[in-house]
Structure 1
């Protein structure tokens, strides 16, 4: 029997039982869509984080105290600068601050870094308005886009040329006034900080504002990528385990490992729905075999072989698997772009209720190889689920089948 004839008989069975076939296809579609939508999130998050980390450059080393008992000072900066292969050592001070403006307040991050080293850490920044703070200023700040206007507000909190009140400290908070001199274009998250949700000022200004006498972190730039390992080994030789040292390569590996495991976990959870859909296919195929017992007897009486009958029923399962899989990929692709919007809105609302305005965004990535693999998996589930009912139909005695009412 020709393959085209087998396919026609399979399609005929689907057309005769449209509602049942539609429900089966729906089950496969939901399972496939869940896999695509969830896996694309982890792929997008991984890509976003790695892109931001890579903006620091492959020759960047992050150094932080390993415990609260360790402090980083200018002495440490000078010491690390003496290591061969080191080009820059950029000290950074960060602290949570509450900004008051526009009749409301929000929590943001204050970042202190020398203006000459600002673009070493945060590259390719653009200004929506104004300029970067002066190197010797103790009061000028350049703010991220969400500081000027948080996502949950319809009006700006601060403006260039105006002063703003910031509150530092949780136990005994102190309020101080700063002058807004610039606003950055929307940037997103860097490996250092969420740029959009930060206020930037001179290093000495931030230390004076927060009352700190030490740095939160040091970012080391080597002369080239080949010098990174040598510099790391020398820093470890000097400080031992007192410092936490991470290279861009290590951060990328950690992110890839975590998101890879998360992808497998979410994919496995979503794949369960495909197996449930497979059980539905098996159940429907069994019912179909029982209902079409007499038809099977007629087919065999007309000369259809056991293999022909088997292939007819398997073609039904395959067609439903293909249709459900393709629709699932399309629907899952659409849902995957809705999830980040909902997550961002939810995080903004939650943060806003606690007086914060931290933003969170990424673009999901739908890899063609994963989509193809999911489609093949959906078809395989449909075939496996339909095989036993199809085999049972092919083994029917035509005489007994023709006597069936």
Structure 2
């Protein structure tokens, strides 16, 4: 045990600390943090528009009309659907400001243009170009991360090669910086264009399709078994760790199978027959991803009520309401969890534990299976468990999972909290 601790403290921890403090990792962290205020704002209006109480929904529809929810969620769409765009801008700006002689604003503009260049556009009826808004949200986040980092690197390298259009000293700096970016920006966009043309010549057809293309073959073979459920959630969590919206990335492959299993349960339930399936869409949404992907409700509870570091406690208070409604973007991008080695282990272990515990409980008959009712994904735990199974045992199972998730996150949370508190105290002393 002493040797293991020595290895962790002397080798592994310094290595990860070095990695996490590298320019690219800091740029990722700071860039994604820029999206957090918009995510929190969008989460609030999503809760208002999708509050999972039918009486409330009926009352609001009677008061404001049947389209009221869509109108309320205009703000949600405006904030959530620019996540990738904000990320590429923030990452590029954060990356470029680390280099002397580089105007970060110009680098950011080039990266935004490069990001948009990766998106396949359609021609509208009036001849105008239509940009799929979906690629601006978390669906395009992985592309945004790559563009923000590596296009900025290329731009900076070209700038340092003095491939710039120099203006006289009498020209205002804003104008001079814009023209200085002319050649490096053009070359950077040309490189991205070549990559896009190359990808379009393959069966993948577009850059956003690359991830789905490589996932489709293996994931389509996964069935609704315990092993299959573990593989599905493992892939989703790992993708989220790298900034890819895992559920969105594989939903087109997995969801038809899960919905079919849920429909089979509904048919059997109506016929008063034994329910055939444990692994269904509601199994994942209500019993595995409690608080969102990674089962982060337990982690948010710890931050809200037990954090000593001011930053973590404040983030917990901001994240607790969305997390209760299974919206965890504030904590995923606020902590952040993306590319954070300190939290990846419980982020994967908690949903894995939920899968195994719930599957065994349903297999043994201790907890009722999902009956085919699909409560809105924003329905809070306990309530959603009762609705989806038609039995109180569903709510009890969710409560058990929340406690278990909290315990899984606890040790890692304490370690992060101590480290952040120490840094906070040192900063106060220095000030």
TM class, shorter-chain normalised? under 0.3
Give the structure with higher Rg (CA). Answer: 1
Higher strand share: 1
Higher helix share: 2
Q: State the TM-score, normalizing by the size of structure 1.
A: 0.22
